Amino acid sequence: MNCMRCGFCLPACPTFRETGAEAESPRGRIALMKAVHDGVMAPADGFIEQMDHCLGCRACETACPADVKYGRLLEQARDAIEDAPGTRGLRARVLRRAIFRGVFPHPRRMRLLGGALKLYQRSGLARLARGSGAMRLLPSHLAEMERILPEAAGDGVAARIGPRLAARGGEPVAKVGLFRGCIMDILFTDTNVHTAELLAEAGFEVVIPDAQVCCGALHAHGGDMAAARDLARRNIRAFREAGVDYIVSNAGGCGALLVEYDHLLKDDPGLAEDAAWFAERVVDVAELLRRGRPLAFASPEPVRVTYQDSCHLRNVMKSSGAPRALIAGVDGVEFCEMAEADRCCGSAGIYNITQPEMSGAILAHKMEHANATGADVILTSNPGCLLQMKLGIERHGDPSRTKAAHVVDFLYERIKKA
């Protein structure tokens, strides 16, 4: 830990900005990690609470002059918590393992889950649950989240467009492997389809390796590093066998772990070279679209748009200019930069579910800035951020006037085809 305790991370940290408490800052959390590591304190409730309170947005890393890899320290700390006996209740451990290991790593089970959710949404059961008052049995933040979920799917992108999409307009610029994700492919299937279609229009051959699985981000962030490494190994094999030039992500949270597979598997000598091969090919869809054949976009009517950065896309994948450039290049779009667009929205994977109070406070400030732009559409590049923005509009905005959308969907609806 080469933290100099300079304090540059403090104003970059969302939880410190909310509370002003040293323990709620990266510097404070690193001090707690060191104390546990040195045996000065036990990994008890207070320590666990602070590790859980961290959003893992990694904004502190961009502010740190000593290049402290805080995200990696946090993952190690959470991994140690999960390994230590008695630090989590048996019920919580069983539930987490059942979901993280029993569902997310299995595409077929995820599609079954998507199909069940689709049936719930389309059959009238959702309306019945809301109208009968049954949703009041859930915590309020979960009931709100249920209302804003997009229509689920039980098929996935490959079932809709096939395992390969040919490049359009001539010889392929490159061969791209689409990382479809797990939640992404059942809740945002259209976004995956639109990603492939835009890339094909830009001259890329798009393939969707069937053997790919969940990226492992939720596992890594939740302290199950063994499961994250296993998923990484499976994904590396799938894309290496596909022989792709790029691995494209349309979810900042997924991309941030994919691009660090080389670090995740640094102690695996048999896969270190393949992991490096994989990591150096991971790229966000907006960045890749700018490397392809030029595309033209036009809005059917004037629209004012703002953009909320995905923390992991900006802070880990180092991409913030490409989405903005694509948005601003759409004819008929007025792009209005949001104040503190680089600050976390409070989604942070499942943080808005596990830490609703802090997440809600962060979201309220975010919506102050979003509303100040007067935007008709709030765009982002990550599914979690998108759901959080929809929740923010419901709580603090005007749903009849303002919408939230993924950058890919916004561009796809406005592409001018030759």
From 143, 182, 126, select the one nearest 384 (Cα to Cα).
182
Query: What does the pLDDT read at residue 92?
Result: 64
Query: What does the pLDDT read at residue 140?
Result: 87
CB 153 within 8 A of CB 186: yes
Tens of pLDDT along 219-251?
A: 988 888 999 999 999 999 999 999 999 999 999
Reduce the DSSP state of residue 47 to 3 states and report it.
helix
Cα–Cα distance, 177 to 159 (Å, whole number): 16
Cα–Cα distance, 67 to 313 (Å, whole number): 18
Which parts of the chain have pLDDT scores under 50?
A: none
From 245, 241, 182, select the one nearest 217 (Cα to Cα).
182
Query: What does the pLDDT read at residue 44?
Result: 77
Tens of pLDDT along 283-303?
A: 999 999 999 999 999 999 999
Q: Which domains does the chain have, with CATH numbers?
A: 10-83 (no CATH), 107-148 (no CATH), 157-289 (3.40.50.1860), 296-416 (3.40.50)
> How far, CA to CA in Å, does 18 sit from each of 11, 21, 54, 62, 251?
10, 9, 12, 19, 27
Cα–Cα distance, 128 to 143 (Å, whole number): 14
Q: What is the pTM of this model?
A: 0.93
Query: What does the pLDDT read at residue 418?
Result: 58
Which residues, 6+ apart, have CB-to-CB distance to 36 below 8 Å?
A: 42, 43, 47, 77, 80
